[in-house]
Chain A
């Protein structure tokens, strides 16, 4: 187990280096620079522009800038935002709970709908249930997030007026953020209606964000179940006189979950990428929206630091999934 972990960590280092390089290069490839965008409409002389760029260290050759940047990362310093001057780590951890709350809700919804849907489709293979479930999954999988989000807003917020359009909670409510999770904080605040407001703000973004993972999990569960249902041990389970429910729900599903767990782990990356768009559509104050804003302002340190932190989270989650995989697969555990 220790060797396994050591091996995994050894892979992390080059991956991190790669992410750092990509993040560094990507934002500089975009036209414009932070100073130019901050000055906005005001006219700024070339001398003044060069002066500020120099004070920020952006006049040095790119290779030197990159080496300096790596040096800072090693000491754990991701720098400050060019725009707000606040430390990047502070902003990240202040905003991250909002993204985490949304992502957790989305992945839970995707798992709790996707697995039963996949099992049902596999058991009723070829029936209209299977076909409509898998047809829906295909549509969900190919849905452009932005368009899907706008569609839901138009229907539920616009026409039906059931849900709010943006934010995490109605401005009526104000309470301290104990956990950073609005659902929990609103309950803790004890203010009547606060939880309901938080929930109603969460519903649409959760649906939008869970759509692709839900479709992927449902399809993966179906194919894993179809494979497992033909196995000898499923026949053995049936030969014991067990109910179909137990044969499918215990003997088959337990084995089918092994590949599905890997899929769920891979969806975390998809989820964080989706969060960037979803948060932008719903003005959800999380790291996705923070990053998009930073890109528009060419806030180099924020984009670089944010990408690095997101990559780190994805890698940690994948590592956790690998460990979990070992736990649920006896053949690896022993």
Chain B
């Protein structure tokens, strides 16, 4: 059974110009010990869908889903209080901006200790010992001294390590990492990704890795879910996705990878932008940017089956060639 199972997740924001579905009918499953990557350009609803699982969205958001189960528990029927016993302990999250994600007024030791106090029975001394072990495990030198450090005394990479130590302090079954390395230097990025992969392996932890970097996906993920404008447009195991992407959007993302670029000196990028709240196409949301689009795409997009990566597309690619399917008019 899947560790996290979500069906038809929709998140709608109340905005001054009316409701806006930032996440629109997304299905998502994560198995135990699996690394699932969610990819997509900025604005495709990656963060919002995971924040919905954590219950961290502002009150202006309305979250609905047919199914949202974690580890056998129905999260939809849980009260906020019940959810808080799981959040932090069994599902933890780290964020894109490690420097601003730690509270500037409290020491590293306090912030890790607080997590342990909330979810474990450890006494003060045991919490301290555990915090030192945790800092050591994420590769922070002289962890004992770091306990009394304030966040502004840490670099970005160190802050992200502290965040990881804190998030994994109660041995969660699932860690959600929302672009954990986007704000960091390239060398530090690689170190943090290695650390995350090792932690998953050592602790039997599943990881949802949100990113818009296909290079990171190739390095880390077992399975990939591609999101576009709040919809799941494709989902495949990583190897298959890289060798045979079925959605034109996935294909475009892949051809933007530096090592796949054909021409010298410039990277192909996808023309156009992710549709936001306004000017949403009426049919397939990717249609205005799609080189394979036909008339039927202006009316809607059809969901393909697992063999075609669940692609939300009327003309899924097979080995780079669009299939022309007959769709009932």
Contacts from A to B (Cβ < 8 Å): 231-233, 235-243, 251, 254-255, 258, 328-331, 334
Contacts and interface: CB of A to CB of B under 8 A. Distances in A.
Contact of B95 (A232, A242, A334): A232
B103 A239 contact: no
A27 to B, nearest CB: 47
Interface stretch (B86-94, B297-305, B307-315): B86-94
A329 B104 CA distance: 8
A329 B152 CA distance: 11
Contact of A251 (B100, B103, B115, B119): B103
Interface footprint category on B = 20 to 34
A329 B105 CA distance: 7
Interface in B105-163: 105-106, 114-115, 118-119, 150, 152-153, 163
Given A232-B95, A235-B56, A241 B103 contact: no
A330 B149 CA distance: 10
Contact of B150 (A242, A328, A334): A334
B150 A236 contact: no
B280 interface: no
Contacts of A238: 55-56, 87
A298 B150 CA distance: 56
Nearest to B102: A233
10 contacts: A233-B102, A237-B103, A239-B54, A240-B114, A241-B84, A241-B87, A241-B88, A241-B119, A258-B105, A330-B152
A242 B118 CA distance: 7
Nearest to B55: A238
A255 B152 CA distance: 14
Interface in B157-189: 163, 166-167
Contacts of A330: 104-105, 150, 152
B85 interface: yes
B289 to A, nearest CB: 32
B97 interface: yes
Contacts of B104: 233, 255, 330-331
B147 to A, nearest CB: 14
Nearest to B103: A233
A330 B114 CA distance: 19
Contacts of B54: 239
A255 B97 contact: no
B85 A241 contact: yes
A241 B86 contact: yes
Contacts of B92: 239-240
A254 B111 CA distance: 13
Nearest to B51: A235
A239 to B, nearest CB: 5
B101 A236 contact: yes
Contacts of B105: 254-255, 258, 328-330
